Amino acid sequence: MLTQINGLHHVTSLASGAQSNNAFFTKVLGLRRVKKTVNFDAPDVYHLYYGDELGTPGTVMTYFPFPNAAPGRPGLGEVGTTVFAVPKGSLGYWEERLGAAGVSGLARETLFGEARLHFRGPDGDGFALVETDDDPRTPWTGNGVPEDVAIRGFHSAQMRVSDGGASEELMRFMGYEVTDRQDGTVRLRVPNGNGADTLDIETVRGANYAQQGAGSVHHIAFSVENRAAQLEVRKALLDTGYSVTPVIDRDYFWAIYFRTPGGVLFEVATNEPGFDRDEDTAHLGEALRLPTQHEHLRAKLTELLEPIHD
């Protein structure tokens, strides 16, 4: 069993528009845009990152906005709900704030004894806010959401698969422990994690597989401290029979990818070097940053990419 994984690092989804995506995550949810760059594998598409002040692993929601992308179809083999942690007693504030912003899908629920508020992102993305006690993480308050209600980072992600057993086995191998089961959903948690340390696996039988599009989660990334820990995880996964990519330099972290038995794309990303490696903390996320290999495309990309008005 692995001990290097600390919880989630980031969650990456697809969107249909950069401007609407940016406005939602910064102005409605109050997160900080910590990086404005491009998809390193397809540089004519943005890669936008939203999180706390520094984009601390476990707080970072990221998007590839493809202009006019068709909507995704929810189903099996994906992360259906991405869950943010908010302080106890703050769901009333959020229900009002999201309602006033015209956010759809607002619904209260209790899962595993925790109150949560479901809502939909701009492309129908499945999200929830869950009230947690004593989350020590410092929220970003620069976009007008008061500190006593602001998002602390991720709480969990909920995967939807046809056979949860194999996914559960993988998560246990990755260092997670089963803490609860309720109505076909198993809850796992990694000990001594980063706050974004919970994963729910929902088994649904007889449903269709998801079709990725705008509003779909593309992959979820798990956090490891450094490159040495990442290599240990990579070797263990390879030894267990997983097809894992080589280590890929994403400028702000190093990444490896593999697909789970349930069809979900997983990444393991390093906490080093972080989003402040090429920008001042005070101006994080403001300018378009391009990786060295795409810097020569700057003029063309500036022309091509949808303008984002903050």
User: Per-residue contact track with Zn ion, 12 to 51, x per CB under 5 A?
Assistant: x---------------------------------------
Print burial letters for 95-111: b (CB count within 10 Å at least 16), e (below 16): bebbeeeebeeeeeeeb
DSSP-assigned beta bridge partners for residue 36: 48, 288
Angle, CA 119 vertex, CA 17 and CA 199 arms, to 5°: 100
Number of C-alpha atoms within 13 angstroms, CB side, residue 98? 24
DSSP-assigned beta bridge partners for residue 266: 220, 258
- When the beta carbons of 251 and 306 are compared against Zn ion, the nearer one is 251
Sheet containing strand 248-249, strands side by side: 32-39, 42-51, 60-65, 5-15, 217-224, 265-273, 253-259, 248-249
- When the beta carbons of 197 and 267 are compared against Zn ion, the nearer one is 267
Which residues 6+ apart lie within 8 Å of 2 measured at CB? 173, 174, 175, 232, 233, 236
- When the beta carbons of 8 and 290 are compared against Zn ion, the nearer one is 8
User: Per-residue contact track with Zn ion, 178 to 217, x per CB under 5 A?
Assistant: ----------------------------------------
- When the beta carbons of 62 and 185 are compared against Zn ion, the nearer one is 62
User: Per-residue contact track with Zn ion, 222 to 261, x per CB under 5 A?
Assistant: ----------------------------------------
List the one residue from 74, 216, 267, 284 that touches Zn ion (CB under 5 A): 267
Q: Which stretch binds Zn ion (CB under 5 A): 5-13, 36-44, 67-75, 138-146?
A: 5-13
- When the beta carbons of 168 and 267 are compared against Zn ion, the nearer one is 267
* Shortest reach from residue 227's CB to Zn ion, in Å: 16
- When the beta carbons of 164 and 285 are compared against Zn ion, the nearer one is 285
Q: Return the beta strands (E) in the chain as ranges.
A: 5-15, 32-39, 42-51, 60-65, 78-87, 107-111, 114-120, 126-132, 153-161, 177-182, 185-189, 198-203, 217-224, 248-249, 253-259, 265-273
List the one residue from 2, 5, 130, 221 that touches Zn ion (CB under 5 A): 221
* Shortest reach from residue 47's CB to Zn ion, in Å: 9
Size of the site for Zn ion (CB under 5 A): 3
Residue for token pair 């936008």: 48
Q: Is 114 one of the binding residues for Zn ion (CB under 5 A)?
A: no
Residue numbers at the binding site for Zn ion (CB under 5 A): 12, 221, 267
